[in-house]
Amino acid sequence: MKGRLVKPRVSRNIKLFLFIACIFFVSLYIALPSSFPVVFSTPSIAGKSFSVDRTIIRPPIDFSLGSLRVYRDLEWKMGLDIQGGTRVSLTADMQNIPKDDRADALESAREIISRRVDMFGVSEAVVRTSMAGDQYRLIVEMPGLSDSNQALNLIGTTAQLDFRENPDDSIFPDPASPSATIAWISSFSPTDLTGKDLKKSSVQYSTENGQPVVSLVFTEEGKKKFAEITQRNVGKPVGIFLDGFPVTVPNVNEPILNGEAVISGGFTEEGAKELSVQLNAGALPVPIIVEQQESIGASLGNEAVNQTFLAGLLGVGVVMVFMILLYGWRGVIADLALVMYALITVALYKLIPVTLSLPGLAGLLLSIGMAVDSNILIFERMKEEMRAGRPFKQAMELGFGRAWDSIKDANTATLFTCFILFNPLEWDFLSRSGMVRGFALTLALGIVVSLFTGIVVTRTLLRLFLRDDSLKRVGRDSHVLGGVR
C-alpha cells in the first residue's frame, strides 16, 4: 500500500497567523500618535497601591541602507483644504522654447520649484503641471503657509543665479555707507558662469574650527569656467547674484581648479542653510509669471477632522455590530479583520505618506464601508453550501473559493476606475486634479487592504479558531439565520 506523508495544514495556518500578528503590531506601532499618556492606578490592597503616570514617545522611522536614508515622522499629512495655506498659479512663457522641448522645460521648472519649496521646509506641498493648448501652467499648493508674499519669495518665480567679478581693485566699502556699498555692488560685471553650471550646494562643517561652511560643486563645464574666474581673481571678491541682488561676495584666496569650493566666514547654521538653499535654487529653464495667488482658509480644521474620524469610527462600530448580529462567531472574526484593515490603512497613510484632503477622507470612509463586502459574499456562499448538506469545514473552503470570482471581478473594476481617476500617465484628456487623485489613491489603498484582510486574515482565523464542536454550533446557527432551510 503506497502512501505519502503530508505536512499538516495547521502548520501553514499558524505561520500565516504569526505573519498577520507581525503586521498587526507593526501597524499598531505606526498608527499610534507620536506621544500619548499612560495613566492608571490599582486599588489599594493592604495599604499598598501601584500607579503609572507617564507619557510614551513613539520615535520616528529613521535608518540608512548604504547611501539611502529612510525617514518618516509618522505624522498625518493634511492637505490645503484641511490645513489652509496658499495656492499660486504660474504661467510658463514658452515663446523662446521649441515646441518639442516645452513639455520637458515645464517638467524641469516643476522639479526646480518643488526643490525650492522642499528645502524651505514647507510640508505636504504639491507642485503640479497643467497643459492645455498653448497654455503651460504650474500650480503650487503650500499648506500652512498663509503669507502669499512669502510664498512668492520662496518660489523665486524669476530667479536667475549668476557669478560676477569686479574688474577694479576696489576693496570692500564701509558697511555704514549704503551709497558706497550700492556703487561697489553695481561695479560687478556678469560672467558666463550661471546657476546651470552649479551641480549642488550643501552645508558642511569646517575640520579646523567646526563652524558651518557652504560647499559648492560644479558641473564639468562649470568647473572650467570657475577655474578661469578664480585664476584671474586671486585676492579679489567674486559675487554670487540671485535676480540681480548679491547673495554673497566671498574673497578668492587661491585658484580653484577641481570644481569644488567652500565659502566660509563665520556662518551660523541657519545662515549657512539659507545660503545653500539660495544657491541650489539655480535658474529656471523658462520665465514664469504669476497668474493668480490666493490664501485659502481651512475648510475643515482640526475640530472638523476629528469629527470626521469620529464618524468613521462610529461607522466601523455599526458595521461590526451588524456583522455579529447577522453571522455570530464568524461576524466576530470578520470584525477582527476589519480592525486589522483599519490599522493597516492608517499605517500606510503615514508611511507613504498620503496627504489627507476632503476627497481623500471621502475615499477613506467609502473604503471602510466596502471593507466587509468580501466577508459578506463569502459568508453567504458558505450558507448556501451548508444548506446543500455540506459540513462546515468543507462549506468554508468552498465558500472562499467560489466567492473569489465575484470578489475579484468587482474589486478589479473599481481598481480600474481608481487608475483612471488617478491618471498616473498624465493623459491630457483625463483630469489631473489633485483632489480627484487623492480620492482615487485612498479608495485604491482601501480596496487592496480590504482584499488582504477579507481573504487572508478572515480565512486564517476561521481555520484556526472555528473548528470541531464550534463548527457544528456555527453551522446550526447559520441555518437558523439563513431563514428557510
Whether residues 147 and 194 fall in one domain: no
* Residue 352 shares a structural domain with residue 477: yes
Whether residue 145 is found in the same domain as residue 238: no
User: Is the residue at 72 inside a domain?
Assistant: no
Please check the confidence at residue 424 and state whether its pLDDT lies above 70.
yes
Q: Are residues 149 and 244 in the same domain?
A: no
- Same domain membership, residue 231 and residue 177: yes
Same domain flag for 173 and 143: no
| DSSP class of 45 | B
Residue 397 domain-assigned (yes or no): yes
Rounded distance between C-alpha atoms, residue 114 and residue 110, angstroms: 6
Answer yes or no: is 107 within a domain: yes
Please give the average per-residue pLDDT across 135-151, as a whole number.
77
Q: Among 214-223, 230-239, 244-253, which is the least confidently predicted range? A: 244-253
Measured between alpha carbons, how far is residue 271 from residues 22, 228, 239, 277, 338 in Å? 45, 28, 17, 10, 50
Question: Which burial class, exposed, middle or buried, applies to 227 when counting CB atoms under 10 A from its CB (0-12, 13-18, 19+)?
Answer: middle
CATH number at residue 229: 3.30.1360.200
Q: What percent of the chain has pLDDT over 70?
A: 83
User: Structural domain of residue 418, as residue ranges?
Assistant: 302-481
The one-letter amino acid code at 301 reads: G
* Structural domain total, the chain: 3
CATH of the domain at 444: 1.20.1640.10
**237 pLDDT more than 50:** yes
Helices 434-451 and 358-370, axial angle in degrees (round to 10): 20
Please report how the helices 458-465 and 9-31 are oriented relative to each other, as an axis angle in degrees rounded to 10: 130
Cell readout for 152 is: 512668492
User: What is the rounded average pLDDT of the residues 438-463?
Assistant: 90
Tell me: do 146 and 225 sit in the same domain.
no
Task: Give residue 63's pLDDT band: very low, low, confident or very high (50, 70, 90).
Answer: confident
The answer on 446 and 348 residing in a single domain is yes
269 vs 283 pLDDT, higher one: 269
Mean pLDDT of 130-136: 81
pLDDT confidence tier of residue 141, bands split at 50, 70 and 90: confident
Residues 339 and 444 occupy one common structural domain: yes
Q: Do 235 and 328 lie in a common domain?
A: no
CB 215 within 8 A of CB 201: yes
DSSP state string for 216-268: EEE-HHHHHHHHHHHHTTTTSBEEEEETTEEEE-PBP-S---SSEEEE-SS--
Mean pLDDT of 394-399: 88
> Is the separation of the CB atoms in 242 and 281 below 8 Å?
yes
pLDDT in tens, 360-375: 777 877 777 777 888 8
> Do residues 138 and 174 share a domain?
no
Most confident region among 193-207, 335-349, 427-441 by mean pLDDT: 335-349
- 455 and 376, same structural domain? yes
pLDDT 10s digits, 313-328:
787 888 889 899 998 8
Q: Is the pLDDT of residue 182 over 90?
A: no
**For residue 227, what pLDDT band results from cuts at 50, 70 and 90?**
very high
Q: What is the pLDDT confidence band of residue 340, given thresholds at 50, 70 and 90? A: very high
